[in-house]
Amino acid sequence: MFNNRKYINQLKAENEKLKRKKEEYEDETIKSMNSKDSYKNANIKLMNEIGKLKKDIENKENSVCNVLDANKELSLSNNYLENKIKLLEQVIKQREENECRLNQQVVKYKGMLDKIDNYTRMLEGRGINE
């Protein structure tokens, strides 16, 4: 959002600079005119410049709006991805907990199997695993 604000401030500064330039141009043109024809030509030129400046300002305002819309879309996408990451972290944590429980059960049943194997050897003189 800071970059957008910076861009908007640059546009405002540029707009002010163009307004000052226009005023200076108007003052210089009026001072330098000697006849009605030169005044008329200068006025037409000035009107063309003003039209161009208005179009430029409008284009820059549209650019700012587009940047703000893109920023909003990126924020929404970022929130969506953050939620997905949290969900994946929960799934990974549950998987690790399940793996730990399964390893505990394997160790428990392996110990029971070893006990049964030892009893069988003692009673019959041979092991189950043989």
Quote the pTM value. 0.46
Say if 116 falls within a structural domain: yes
Would residue 88 count as lying in a domain?
yes
Greatest Cα-to-Cα distance within the chain, rounded to the nearest angstrom = 130
Determine the distance from the C-alpha atom of residue 22 to the mean position of all C-alpha atoms in its chain, rounded to a whole number. 38
* Position 128 confidence tier, pLDDT thresholds 50, 70, 90: low
pLDDT at position 34: 54
Residue 19 lies in a domain: yes
Domain range for 47: 2-124
Domain count across the chain: 1
Q: Residue 129: inside a domain, yes or no?
A: no
C-alpha–C-alpha distance, residues 103 and 65, integer Å: 57
Average pLDDT across the chain, whole number: 83
Q: Are 25 and 46 in contact (CB under 8 A)?
A: yes
Higher pLDDT, 111 or 6: 111
112 within a domain of the structure (yes/no): yes
Determine, yes or no, domain membership for 130: no
Task: Report the pLDDT averaged over residues 52-65.
Answer: 89
